[in-house]
Amino acid sequence: MKYDYEELLKRARSQIPEVVSKRERLELPRINLSVIGMRTIIHNFKEIAEVLNRNPQHLLKYLTREIATAATMQESRVIFQGKFSRETMKRLMQRYMESFVICPVCKRPDTKIVKEKRLSFLVCVACGAKSSVRQLQ
């Protein structure tokens, strides 16, 4: 019995559920956010930082700079001074991912931030690319 590669490929693809084949590899968990008075609390902040494979302090520093407010971290949650919507936080997380997580060459999330002297680089584990990233003062 002789098999044609194209036929086998079609057969294999037909057996994969559509949900699995279209799923993004890096999916940000839903931001568990609540606004109490003039404070915004992200309850699953540590989980988000773990999914992004980044130091929670680095992510917190980025967010506080972008929304120009103070924040404190308590265990796995973060409390921001001010009222911010879930959409605002989601948009900021997307911008963080584009700048500090996703490789600009191969578009994969398999990266790490490496500091050399005073410069920071985004090093991709998948393709080996090394790109400079801006420093968070």
The model's pLDDT over 53-72, given as tens digits with 9 standing for 90+, comes to 889 999 999 999 999 999 99
Stated length of the chain: 137
| Residue 54: closest CA among 116, 102, 87 | 102
Apex 94 CA angle, 29 and 23, nearest 5: 55
Q: Which residue has the higher pLDDT, 44 or 137?
A: 44
Helix (H) or strand (E) holding 90: helix 86-100
Q: Of 83, 12, 88, 9, give the one whose Cα is nearest residue 41.
A: 83
CATH of segment(s) 29-101 = 3.30.70.3150
Quote the pLDDT of residue 21: 37
- The span from the CA of 53 to the CA of 34, in Å, is 24
Domain ranges of the chain: 29-101, 103-137
pTM for the full predicted model? 0.75
